Amino acid sequence: MSKLVNPHGSNELKPLLIEGNEAKEGLRKAEELKRVTMTTREASDLIMLGIAAFNPLDGFMGHDDWKGVCGSYSMPSRKNLFWPIPITLSTDKATADSIKLGEEVALFDLETEAIMGTMKVAEKYTIDKEYECKQVFRTTDSKHPGVQKVMEQGPINLAGPVKVYSESYYPEMFKGIYQRPAEARKAFLERGWSTVAALQLRNPMHNSHAYLAWVAIEVCDGVYIHQLVGKLKEGDIPAEVRVKAIDALVNKYFRKERVIQGGYPMEMRYGGPREALLHAVFRQNYGCSHLIVGRDHAGVGDYYGPFDAQKIFLEIPKDALELKPLPLDWTFHCYECGGMASMKTCPHETKAVIDDNGNYKGGARLLLSGTLLRKLMSEAKPVPKEFSKPEVIAILKEYYDQLEQKVEIKLHGAATGETKK
């Protein structure tokens, strides 16, 4: 009989999402409460709390947990439970001053102009934002999208347990892809899976991603292609386009009994190694035994080394997670090998040269990356056929052709192979 890994920090999922008539009544009462406006990141974190993706958290973190998570990956309020990134809610001083400790407030999503839940305020506190950025992102550079979000937070953090009444537009907009952890676990068990490798995706699935998934299927019962459908930075491909492209590839090039697709609503933090650990935490809650960790996992620009996200799993306590990383080396198409290969398998070290018309001119290794793909597509340059499947390229071309204003895509070392291990 198949048995999945336990949820993080407990032997069962503890969702905070309230549904049906109870939710309707809760929302009615929430209309009479003081409102705390959430950023898009905070709203998506609230949904992750609601569906138990952030199990076993019961709300937004207080000061001691914020400090413990930043400094030592641990939450003092939960017997030093392992946790890698703060989950916090901020507001302006006037709003904070108007709220009494113990008071229940409505959590308002400015994007959808709707109340999504409530929180009983147990604590109000200030933080050192630069300290959080240094610990979590390893930088205080305002150009880093995760740093930018933290520095734009309100000056006061509010903490306390939450009740969640809404999953926003995700269930309808991403019907058939969006999944709660309990739904993914049910699907795994129905297939008799015990070992499941999660493939994190924030880009359309090109051939390197597919290769990683195929390798994972060889060592696990199946692969969970888990797409981020929350907010991304400017220039990234919208979730609905990515979902369509990934679906086209999976339906044609994977055995259906070995793959399940899912989507989750978290907003990308681009936190590199720390975010890889957060990805591991909530993938364990989804029932995954392994997380594929490849090149530049959850990274952005040149803030992290291409394999820093693999190294960080060696730095945390061995009992921090039941889920284990599945570290895989840099993969690429090798013209000498005649197909996909990796740094561990391919002996041909020359870099492939492609001309402006997308034609192969010589060399061995064609390094594939989502950033390079976006740059080629946004500049209307031909994409080498070895880069991605034709069905994916056609969908992306249709998207880029209809854009009235193109966003400049800058290549970084992790995308071009210029950085060292």
Strand 222-228 and strand 196-201: the pairing is: parallel
Residues 6 or more apart whose CB falls under 8 angstroms from that of 236 comprise 202, 203, 374
Place of tokens 């895509």: 409
- Measured CA distances, 390 to 155, 222, 400 (Å): 49, 25, 15
Longest dimension (CA), the chain: 69
Q: What token pair was written down for 168?
A: 């926003």
CA atoms within 13 A on the CB side of 420: 0
Q: Check if 274 is active-site.
A: no
Residue 6 designated active-site: no
Strand partners, 353: 362
Residue among 171, 234, 232 nearest 203 (CA): 232
Write down the catalytic residue from 203, 207, 365, 374. Answer: 203
Per the residue annotation, which of 41, 180, 202, 365 is the catalytic one? 202
Contacts of 157 (CB under 8 A, 6+ apart): 60, 63, 66, 88, 89, 90, 91, 123, 124, 125, 126, 127
Nearest to 144 by CA among 280, 285, 268, 260: 268
Q: Which residues are catalytic?
A: 202-203
